[in-house]
Structure 1
Amino acid sequence: MSAERVLAISPRKAGTHLLQQLMVRLGYGIYGETVPPEAGRAAFSLRERQRLAERFADPAEFDGIDVRRDTEEFIRRTDLLLIQLGWIWQMRLAARNLSNVQVSQPDADFTLKMAPEAWTRPFREGPSRLCWIFHSVDIWRMDPLFLEEWIREGEPRMVLNHRDPRDTLVSMVDFFAGEGGLKFLRYPESATFGPIFQNIPDRADRITYALRDPALPLMADYEAAISLLYHPKVADVSFEDLVGPSGGGSRDRQMEATRRVAEHLESDVDPERVVDDLFDRSAFSFHKGRIGRWRDVFTAEHEAMFNDRFGHLLEVFGYA
């Protein structure tokens, strides 16, 4: 029996879609800052919805609602419950940038009253067979009840994904400039970085700007991930591991990484049945998906600037 719940952390533009695709192929629904493929959209039975309603909703919200007779209305209300439960856990897990729920739930109406206990119930009482994906979490602001549960019970299983920070920066610049991304409203990106990068016509100048703006999330995401990289209860994997031959990597490395994550989650899925589906050009915000793109666009000045500001990240994450 594989782990029921997974928490995955992947800095922005670090190839999160590869990690997401792996989790979907391992049988998990997806919730968080990514836009899941159709196969990764979480589905809940009526029985599980009823359990969640009993645990997390104000009882008055379901007065007079019969699960079998009023199924459509019950599903509508529990859909609201699930969205609000997601927001609660984003805050309890101290996700640094709350996800834009409007992307996947444009008609969401946040009106369902939650039970006060929703803020203190254990993570294990939430939805099962779900992988929560966030770009960054603040371990100093995480709910201590969650941390105690994680260490004591060993779940949720945690996975950290990372990528050469230089490639991450190039991908982030392209994303904010509207090339292969930023096709939806999300703040502060749409209000701040999108207009800035789209107003700089030359890519070299965009990269220079990115290396000078301390508010760009590159540093914050990677700095926040260092503690997880070294934690013995966290499985780490990388874009370079997962991208495979289609992105300049190798199938052997893809297989080994997939096997390592599957073992961490106690999944018996055969990696041979998984790896060939990880590189998905149709994934939301997919652009180039290649190893070492920074070498084609960095100038000598860019490389010196990067090493000055972010060189320690290359050392810590093994890309020096």
Structure 2
Amino acid sequence: MVISLMKSGTHLIQELMVALGYGIYGQSRIPAEIRPVLDDATRDRVARMVYDEQTYAELAAGDPASFAKAGDEAWEALGWAWQQRLGMPLVNRYGVAVTNNGLIEQALRRTATSTFATTPGNVCWVLPELDIKKVDGRFLQEWTETGLPRILFMYRDPRDVLLSMVNFLCGRTAQGYGNFSEFQIFNRILESKADLSEKLTYALTDPAFPVSGDHERALWLLNHPNVCQVSFEQLVGARGGGSDELQAATVARVLDFLGCDDSPDQLVEKLFRTDSFSFFKGQIGSWREAFGPEHEELLAERLGRMVRLYGYA
């Protein structure tokens, strides 16, 4: 499981997981070619988990194509159910109609006591947060007792995160600003501001602005000894203003954490993709060129503590 704070370079860690052979599931826009593809046995097992016995028997007795479709729908419902158990704010981002879906409700009800270990294997869950006060306690107990799933935490300098989110919400990335409902609101607000300076002043002032508070809520991930902490600056490499040597060492550290014997040298070239959905510049320290003297007090007030705690001071 990858917890990658929004605008922290999710595409980098995601490309690494794809290169390692994982299918990707989560809340970012995930191209069809890297989504999980369930084999027949896994699809059957998930269908048994989600459907009641009578419905499962009727589906299994039907034609294989219909059963395969029903199995894929069961997996989709199970995924949404687990997003709820992991504390994702689905109603805010997608509307209540998503969580009120009958099959999702059934999946949540029937698997409420199941462990994360029963979800399909060879899947990397990529999520933008894991708020410990909202996560299902059963998941936390399972992870504490077994160490699984292995959790990687991806973060970035809070100042670059804020700038990147402003650029993202202004539609300056390759494919727009995403489909979270709140993003539409903040896009309109930012577009009403005269220039980048005003946009940044607003983003530093409104506590409801996306990414505000993300670093603080994730401090437990930054400090937990069983979490592999990876920063954007460590993973981006020279093309993003970092170091190729540090990038290779970071990939090697991730592989060791996951118990993989792949060669870091064969993986690093696949990480930096300018065609990724939310990519704009992907550079370390871009905030220095964007923030002016008028932002210094706001920076210190709103981001100073997190800058220090995450080691960027």
TM-score, structure 1 normalization: 0.90
> What corresponds to 1:127 in structure 2?
120
Correspondence for 2:41 among 25, 39, 47: 47
Q: 2:117 is aligned with what amino acid? A: R
Alpha-carbon separation, structure 2, partners of 1:50 and 1:290:
45
Q: Specify which of 231, 248, 257 is matched with residue 255 of structure 1.
A: 248
The CA distance in 2 between the partners of 1:84 and 1:208, in whole Å, is 41
1:301 correspondence with 2:294? yes
Q: Aligned match of 1:220 in 213, 219, 226?
A: 213
Show the counterpart of 1:60. 54
Amino acid at match of 2:77: Q
CA distance in 2, matches of 1:98, 1:157: 27
One-letter amino acid of the counterpart of residue 186, structure 1: F
| Cα deviation, residue 167, structure 1 | 0.6
Q: Give the superposition deviation at 1:154.
A: 1.2
**Which deviates the most, 117-126 or 231-240?**
117-126
**Conserved 8 A contact 1:149-1:155:** yes
Deviation at 1:94, TM superposition (A): 1.1
Give the Cα separation in 2 of the matches to 1:99 and 1:22: 30
What is the aligned partner in structure 2 of residue 317 from structure 1? 310
What is the aligned partner in structure 2 of residue 176 from structure 1?
169
Match of 2:24 in 1: 30
Shift of the 98–243 alpha-carbon distance from structure 1 to 2, 3 Å rule, reads farther
1:269: how far off?
1.2
1:318 CA drift (Å): 0.6
Q: Determine if contact 1:178/1:198 at 8 Å carries over to the other structure.
A: no
Structure 1 residues 246 and 166, CA, compared in 2 at 3 Å: closer, same or farther?
A: same
Q: CA deviation at 1:313?
A: 0.3
Query: What is the TM-score with the length of structure 2 in the denominator?
Result: 0.92
The alpha-carbon deviation at position 19 of structure 1 amounts to 1.2
Deviation of 1:115 after TM superposition, in Å, equals 7.3
Q: Which amino acid aligns with 1:63?
A: A
CA distance in 1, matches of 2:117, 2:2: 16
For residues 115 and 33 of structure 1, what CA distance do their matches in structure 2 show? 18
What secondary structure is seen at the aligned counterpart in 2 of 1:236? strand
**1:224 Cα deviation from its structure 2 partner:** 1.3
Distance 2:235 2:92 in 1: 24
CA contact (8 A) 2:27 2:126 kept: yes
RMSD: 2.2
Cα distance change of structure 1 residues 30 and 101 upon mapping to structure 2, 3 Å threshold: farther
CA distance in 2, matches of 1:184, 1:60: 39
Q: What pairs up with 1:23-172 in 2 under 5 angstroms?
A: 23-66=17-60, 70-96=63-89, 110-112=101-103, 113-114=106-107, 116-172=109-165
Deviation for aligned residue 1:61: 3.0
Maintained 8 Å contact 2:94/2:180: no
- Residues 11 and 162 of structure 1 are in contact (CA less than 8 Å); yes or no, is this contact kept in structure 2? yes
Evaluate the alpha carbon distance shift between residue 238 and residue 27 of structure 1 in structure 2; reply closer, same or farther with a 3 A threshold.
same
CA distance in structure 1 between the partners assigned to 2:142 and 2:199 by the alignment: 44
- Equivalence for 2:201: 208
Contact 1:24 1:40 in 2 (8 A): yes
Question: 2:155, 2:230 within 8 Å by CA — same for their partners in 1?
Answer: yes
> What corresponds to 1:8 in structure 2?
2
What is the letter of the counterpart of residue 15 of structure 1? G
Question: 5+ residue gaps in structure 2?
Answer: none
Q: Distance in 1 between matches of 2:250 and 2:46?
A: 34
**Contact 1:255/1:275 (8 A) holds in 2:** yes
- 1:111 deviates by 4.5
Alignment identity in percent? 39
